[in-house]
Every structure is written in C-alpha cells, then in structure tokens.
Amino acid sequence: MQAVPRGGGVVEGGSTVRHFGYLSASDTDALFEAPPQQFSRESAADLLAVALGATLYMPASRPALAADVTKQAAAGVTSVVVCLEDSIADDDLAEAEANLVAALVELHQQDQAELPLLFVRVRAPAQIPDLVSRLGQAAAVLDGFVLPKFTAALGAVYLHAVDEADALRRALSGGPGPALRVMPVIESGAVLYAETRVVELTRLRDLLHRERHRILAIRLGATDLCALYGLRRSPDLSIYDVKVVSDLIADVVNVLGRADGTGFTVTGPVWEYFGGPERIFKPQLRQSPFVEHDEPDLRGQLVSRAIDGLIREVTLDRANGLTGKTAIHPSHVAVVNALSVVSHEEHRDAADVLGARRAGGVLASVRRNKMNEVRPHTAWARDTMLRAQVFGVAADGVSFVDLLAASLPR
C-alpha cells in the first residue's frame, strides 16, 4: 500500500484520523490485509473527498454538542457536519448559532488530535464570515462549510463569503493555514426541473471549475428534491426508485462526476430511516452471507432497523458513481464505512489493471470469474486504490458481514 499523500503535514493543532481506529490491534490484523491509513485536512484533495465516507450531520442546537462530536469521533466518525439550516427552527437560529460557537471554542481548547473533519452547514452566505469572526482563533478547528440550496447564482455569493471568511481566519490565526473547503448541496428546483436542468448544470460546472481549489465534494439533497414533488420514499425503496430524483442523480454524475480529471466527487444522499417501520416487501439481504460468516442474528438486527435498505442504497450509490453518504444517525456510519472497505478481490483486480505492462488488452482476473480490461477499467482501478488507502483492504475471506459484526454495537 502506498502512503497517504499529504500536502505538507498536519497543521499545528490539527487532527489526524483513521477509519476503524476504534478496532483493537488483533481485530485489525484479522480483518485487514492492508489496514486503513491515516489522513488529515492536509491530505490530497482527491483522497480527502473519498475519505469522508459516512458524513454525520448533527443539529447545531444539541445541548452537549462538543461532547457529542468527541463521542462520535471515538466511535469511528471521521467527518461531521453541524447543521444550522433545515434542522433548526427559524425562531431557534440565534440560540443555535451561539451554541455552535461555544462548542467549537470548547473543542479548540481540547486536544484536537482525534477530532473528525468538521464542517458547518449554514443557511445564508452572510453567516460564513460572521461565524468565523465570532469564533476567533477557534475557527482553526473548522475544515469548511456545507452550502445548501446551491445554484449558479447563489453559489457565487456563497463562494465570495468563503473567500472573505478565509481571509479573516488567516488574519486571526496569524498564518496561512489550509484553505476552507466547501461542499455545495444540489437540491434546488432549478436543477431538478427538466426545462432548466441542462443550463443550470452547465453554469454550475463552470462556477465550480473556477473555484476547484475549494470544492471538496458535491452533496445531493434528496429530501429537499423529493419535497419539490411532495414525495418521500419508504424503507422498502431506494432513492433510485424515485425516478424524478434518480434521473437528476444520473445527470449530476454525467456533468459533474466525470472520470477524465474534470469531475468532482459526488456523495450519496441521506437514508432517512433508523427504526423499524412497517414493511411491505421482503427484506433485501440474503441469508447465506450471514450464515456463512456465522452471524445469522446480525441479519435480523439489520432488517429490524431498516438497515437492509441502506445497504442496498449504498451499493446502488457506488454503481451509479457516488462516493460516501450523508448520515443522520450514528448507526448508519459503520454500515457505510464497512461497505467502503476494498475487498481482497477488488484490490487484486485493481492492482493487475494498473500494473499491466502494455497499453490496452484484457486480463483474466485472479479469481478467474471476470474480465479485467485495462483501458476501460483504469479509472475504476485508480478510484479503488484511493479507497483502499483510507478504508483498507479486507483480508482474503473477510466480507462486509465480518466488518459490520466488528463495528456495530450488539
């Protein structure tokens, strides 16, 4: 495995995190052929975007916000978004902002070595420099902002506000430091409606390319997109069954997620369920993998909490060009990250493709069960190796069942 690329080391007071860091040394040795590598805010942008994995959203109004961030980091969360937008009632916004500032100041005063990547989801551009000003030197714990309802018109205003906040943060810290990153959220009618979609996506692409140094990943606001048509998917269905939204996902990946060096990482939308509502269809998890890995009870636990739907959607996310996922419940984090680990077979196939000594051609896979074609599979292989650096390579014979069994509370 290659070392994690870095842009100059970890900044003073910054955090260095690692997926599955909560596992014991013996569990890590048993589960991984190559364990996950550390990364930080200074890591290369393409690797950092993949490393986000399951990004946990928390309302800024949580009473013990700083303690909750620390607790979730210890449990394996490596990226957190503290939300000031839809999760906060309008009348509670001022109180939530004050709570957020107090929490980040508290985190800044603690040992930051184990902090996750931290982002704030704002609801208006003016909040961005205002929050940095109120935070003072504590703004150093911030890695960036999530920009909701991002359109080509409003996006330019958002990005100007981030420039202003970056300059203010540098002045407060007395040094350059890493630039604030942003994650725009695509969730507006301008991009969903058929008559404006192509023009809006083209304008978004032009804007995002001009600000490429700031763009960490593009997020999809499925809940807001569904709301434009009064829709809500059930736990029996994935977002890909909601055609008006899945069509947009395809177009976003088409325009913004290309593998030719011009694209951005696009993350999967939120899975809304973490309980056991009444189901219409059969569970979507086969019994045999759980039986083969001696975890039959784990399957029942996942089904009872609608996690089988999440597992299916994460699989469909990757098949459709999405990487990582928005999470609104801690139980979702372990699932998304376990499914992000590169299997032993995937890693061998990717290594064979990248190690081919001649341009083009076809290789038989190590397992003799598929075709590895060098040119068409090269971009996939490179992405797989990035994922392998931050999520690790599973040992031969280890499946997502074993990773979930080691990660989920029982």
pLDDT tens sequence across 313-365 = 999 999 999 999 999 999 999 999 999 999 999 999 999 999 886 677 888 77
pLDDT value of position 276: 64
Q: What is the side-by-side strand order in the sheet with 54-59?
A: 219-220, 181-186, 144-147, 117-121, 79-83, 54-59, 325-327
d(CA 191, CA 222): 12
d(CA 169, CA 144): 11
User: How do residues 187-212 score in pLDDT, each as one tens digit?
Assistant: 999 999 999 999 999 999 999 999 99
d(CA 158, CA 170): 19
pLDDT value of position 1: 34
CA quadruple 97, 103, 106, 107: dihedral sign: negative
Average pLDDT over residues 46-66: 97
Identify whether the C-beta of residue 183 lies closer than 8 Å to the C-beta of residue 146: yes
CATH class belonging to 16-341: alpha beta
d(CA 149, CA 76): 29
pLDDT value of position 177: 76
pLDDT value of position 302: 85
- pTM for this structure? 0.92
Range(s) within the chain of domains with CATH label 3.20.20.60:
16-341
Strand bridging mode 371-373 / 362-364:
antiparallel
Of 57-71, 284-298, 370-384, highest mean pLDDT: 57-71
Which residues lie closer than 8 Å to 209 by C-beta, 6 or more apart?
Answer: 262
- The helix/strand count (H/E) of the chain reads as 17, 13
Identify whether the C-beta of residue 310 lies closer than 8 Å to the C-beta of residue 340: no
Q: For residues 9-46, b (16+ Cβ closer than 10 Å) or e, as one string?
A: ebbeebbbbbbbbbbeeeebeebbbbbbbbbbbbbbbb
Which residues lie closer than 8 Å to 271 by C-beta, 6 or more apart?
Answer: 309, 310, 313, 325, 327, 328, 332
Q: For residues 261-273, b (16+ Cβ closer than 10 Å) or e, as one string?
A: eebbbbbbbbbbb
Average pLDDT over residues 123-144: 96
Average pLDDT over residues 31-47: 95
Paired tokens of 366: 């190590």
In degrees and rounded to multiples of 5, residue 259 shows phi and psi of -95, 20
pLDDT of 105 > 70? The answer is yes
The CA R_g of the chain, rounded to the nearest whole Å, is 21
pLDDT value of position 370: 86
Which residues lie closer than 8 Å to 21 by C-beta, 6 or more apart?
Answer: 36, 76
Place of tokens 């951005």: 264
Which residues lie closer than 8 Å to 252 by C-beta, 6 or more apart?
Answer: 186, 191, 201, 218, 220, 266
- Residue 123, class by beta-carbon neighbours within 10 Å (0-12 exposed, 13-18 middle, 19+ buried)? middle
Paired tokens of 355: 């190690």
